[in-house]
Structure 1
Amino acid sequence: MGTESTRGPLVIIGGAEDKEGDCIVLREFVRAAGGVNAKIAVMTAATGYPVEVGETYINVFGRLGAESVEAVHTEHRDHSERESSLRIVEEATGIFFTGGDQSRIVEFIQGTTLDKVIHQRHDRGAAIGGTSAGAAMMPDQMIVGGASVSNPSVDAVSMGPGMGFLPGIVIDQHFAQRGRLGRLLAALVLQPAVIGLGIDEDTGIIVKGDEFEVVGQGAITVVDETTTTHNNLEGLLKDEPIALCGVKLHILPHGYRFNLKTHLPLL
């Protein structure tokens, strides 16, 4: 298993990122994957349109200067055992998960040989990126779905196993655009994670070790549950509102950094 110093960066994007203009967020993924020497594997497991979506990212990453870009299609679980797919990932310096449905990523990849190889490459320095569903799957416990609500309740969110690239964190995407603060708060109360990250569209974080930096047009909403003084979860029925007291909130735009260990923004 790789150490913190050898493990590659994570580039986690809130969805709807610019693919035609300056491509600020995707440009940073290519840079993290090696720049003009980047060899990128585009993982299309999340989408029901793998060929079309894969081609979109092949074109974008190629235009941004990556040395090579190949799509890895896993429309069924047994596709994650294909030698051709394993070869692409084993040679990749950057592995990028597209949007779609995060449950498909877990269903088709988790626990397979492909999953093992992806984690091995990350441990040895390869960058892992993901947008929308590809962002949601990053933690060990991910948001599978739920309602876009302002006030949290038990039934505002459904959770499931994630891919484990960023343990102990909960991530929600399309955050400000779809009003998802309530379901992120609910997820934090229901899961053992202590930090929630709400990532706006066309916005991402670059995680290196214990810190991340914000890039893009929107902001990152950091919800720190470690300061909570009270919740009413015990005895609560699933459609009843959750009370939370003492939660700490940070709003971080482009260029700001945050330490995941100390839970402090870096100005």
Structure 2
Amino acid sequence: MAATETKRQLVIIGGAEDKEGDCQILREFVRRSGGTKARIVIMTAATELPREVGENYIRVFERLGAENVRIIDTESREDASSSTALEAVDKATGVFFTGGDQARITSILKGTELDTAIHKRCAEGVVIGGTSAGAAVMPDVMIVEGDSETNPRIDIVDMGPGMGFLPGVVIDQHFSQRGRLGRLISALLIEPAVLGFGIDENTAMVVTDNQFEVIGQGCVTVVDESEATHSNIDDILKDEPLAICGAKLHILPNGYKFDLKNRKPILDNQPVANASVPVG
């Protein structure tokens, strides 16, 4: 597991997070960003409706008490070298990526001055959040698109470069709601990565250093193939079913924690019942 940042804070959301009620997840993002002193920038690169989507998050974050909230709208790579955008990131205590199309985020931002600036701030402890497409881009290699509600096959998922805030893993979102276990397993074997995370809607992985805690109404599904005893990926054609044996599956609801470095649930003061289910 490539995780060397000692100040890293990430709030990775499976999409469709509550914006009208208690806003548990967005509240946690604001709290970690400094509470009433938070200075948040909203990255709208993923969406074709940047003003509408950005202003919706401005209303939520200001209602929760953030001191200063602004949109960084990058419609092109040229916008990602704007001195105004770079200054905003330099002063930010939280950076939030909206949903939309994850390929738009990487095509506009990856390798730019703004990308470098956000990674620098992340290493300094600034909170990086993202929902839906903004969650998909967190690994160094991401799911660009793929089929849902199907068995694992090579041809159901397309992979591409991510933003690299949480390297060495694969992340999928809207997980239970869209039946994406098959495509997560496919992506995990194609990459290949050691850990795959499927995040339900209105649910988040809150990463601090080398562990995360689950918050929200759903679960985070962890697929760990580090000790898998068999895979047929080298022996099949792309439209043939994938097999994997000996992998581990963890289902983690609100309040459960996971050690990213040692690849184990942290079960202190938690019931052991649903902790780990062997797959295959």
**TM-score after normalising by structure 2:** 0.93
The residue identity in structure 2 corresponding to 1:120 is K
Give 1:186 deviation, angstroms: 0.3
| Residue equivalent to 1:33 | 33
Note closer, same or farther for the CA distance 1:76–1:253 as it changes in structure 2 (3 Å cut).
same
Is the counterpart of residue 236 in structure 1 residue 236 in structure 2? Answer: yes
- Looking at structure 1, the residues matched to 5 and 151 of structure 2 have their Cα atoms a distance apart, in angstroms, of 37
Equivalent residues in 2 for 1:1-267 (5 A)?
Answer: 4-5=5-6, 7-267=7-267
- Looking at structure 1, the residues matched to 4 and 257 of structure 2 have their Cα atoms a distance apart, in angstroms, of 22
- Looking at structure 1, the residues matched to 231 and 125 of structure 2 have their Cα atoms a distance apart, in angstroms, of 40
The residue identity in structure 1 corresponding to 2:148 is S
- Looking at structure 2, the residues matched to 149 and 224 of structure 1 have their Cα atoms a distance apart, in angstroms, of 20
Give 1:3 deviation, angstroms: 6.5
Please tell me the root mean square deviation across aligned C-alpha atoms, in Å: 1.1
Give 1:262 deviation, angstroms: 1.1
- Looking at structure 2, the residues matched to 111 and 20 of structure 1 have their Cα atoms a distance apart, in angstroms, of 35
- Looking at structure 1, the residues matched to 150 and 255 of structure 2 have their Cα atoms a distance apart, in angstroms, of 27
Indicate the SS of the match to 2:214: strand
Contact kept, 8 Å, 1:149 with 1:156, in 2: the verdict is no
Give 1:149 deviation, angstroms: 2.9
1:150-192 CA-to-partner distances (Å, cap 9, x unmatched) read 4100011110000000000100000000000000000110113
Structure 1: where are the runs of 5+ without partners?
A: none
Note closer, same or farther for the CA distance 1:202–1:139 as it changes in structure 2 (3 Å cut).
same
Indicate the SS of the match to 2:70: strand
The residue identity in structure 2 corresponding to 1:220 is V
- Looking at structure 2, the residues matched to 187 and 193 of structure 1 have their Cα atoms a distance apart, in angstroms, of 8
Give 1:4 deviation, angstroms: 3.1
Contact kept, 8 Å, 1:3 with 1:123, in 2: the verdict is no
The residue identity in structure 1 corresponding to 2:5 is E
1:22-76 CA-to-partner distances (Å, cap 9, x unmatched) read 0011111111111111100000000000000000001100101111100000011
- Looking at structure 1, the residues matched to 82 and 57 of structure 2 have their Cα atoms a distance apart, in angstroms, of 21
- Looking at structure 1, the residues matched to 226 and 121 of structure 2 have their Cα atoms a distance apart, in angstroms, of 32
Give 1:77 deviation, angstroms: 1.0
Give 1:228 deviation, angstroms: 0.8
Indicate the SS of the match to 2:100: coil
Indicate the SS of the match to 2:142: strand
User: What percentage of aligned pairs have identical amino acids?
Assistant: 62
Indicate the SS of the match to 1:148: coil
Note closer, same or farther for the CA distance 1:3–1:221 as it changes in structure 2 (3 Å cut).
closer
The list of structure 1 runs, each at least 4 consecutive aligned residues, that deviate by more than 4 angstroms after superposition, is none
Contact kept, 8 Å, 1:12 with 1:205, in 2: the verdict is yes
Give 1:100 deviation, angstroms: 0.2
